[in-house]
Amino acid sequence: MAAEIHSRPQTARPVLLNKIEGHSDAVNTAVLIPKEDGVITVSEDRTIRVWLKRDSGQYWPSIYHTVSSPCSCMSYHHDSRRIFIGQDNGAVVEFLISEDFNKMNHVKTYPAHQNRVSDMVFSLESEWVVSTGHDKSVSWMCTQSGSMLGRHYFTSWASCLQYPSITHSLCGM
């Protein structure tokens, strides 16, 4: 007797494991913290929050920081614990997060754009933060000196950005 195996496509759905609530406005970026049970969020409500999972299974903010303008995007580098926040006012703000994720210190503010920052990336290899904004430009700044290294203008604003540090080439859309 021969057996027939019929393969059916799996229709597995994603399962919601946890829900984090607390922002009073849209969350623009959420990043999982590698090797931690935590999440970093930035929001239109002008807050940066680091959420850590507690023994109860709930996520509670271990850091709750308010900035001067709504947060539009974020780039987080886990190995250096550096976080870069793009804002509606065109600024990119750099913070350093403590090892225990309970404290965040301001490092620098970069005057990157004239309008909302739409996306940004940080490259540890080049020590650059590259950003694009609603002012129809892409700019790159040195994180060591804080100075603007260059800017390029487009005919319209870019909504996203990729910067592979291996090739040092830039792609904006």
75 in a domain, yes or no? yes
Domain-located, residue 9: no
Range 143-150 contact pairs with CB under 8 angstroms and sequence separation of 24 or more: 143/82, 143/94, 143/108, 146/108, 146/110, 148/110, 148/111, 148/112
Q: Is 84 contained in some domain? A: yes
Number of domains in the chain: 1
What's the rounded Cα separation, in Å, for the pair 39 and 28? 13
Q: What CATH number should be reported for the domain holding residue 167?
A: 2.110.10.10
Q: Is residue 95 part of a domain?
A: yes
pTM to 2 decimal places:
0.84
Position 113 in a domain: yes
Which is nearest to 67 in space by CA: 102, 106, 122, 115? 106
Token duo for residue 164: 């592979």
Q: How many residues does the chain have?
A: 173
Q: Which of 22, 25, 15, 17 lies closest to 60, judged by CA?
A: 22
Place of tokens 């319209």: 156
Per-residue pLDDT of the chain (173 residues; tens, 9 = 90+): 455 665 666 677 888 888 888 888 999 999 999 888 999 999 999 999 999 999 888 899 999 999 999 999 999 999 999 999 999 999 999 999 999 999 999 999 999 999 999 999 999 988 999 999 999 999 999 999 999 999 999 898 888 887 765 555 544 44
Domain of residue 95 covers 70-172
Asked whether residue 1 is domain-assigned, the answer is no
146 domain residue, yes or no: yes
Q: Can you give 104-139 as a three-state secondary structure string?
A: EEEEEEEECCCCCEEEEEEECCCCEEEEEECCCEEE
The reply to whether 17 falls in a domain is no
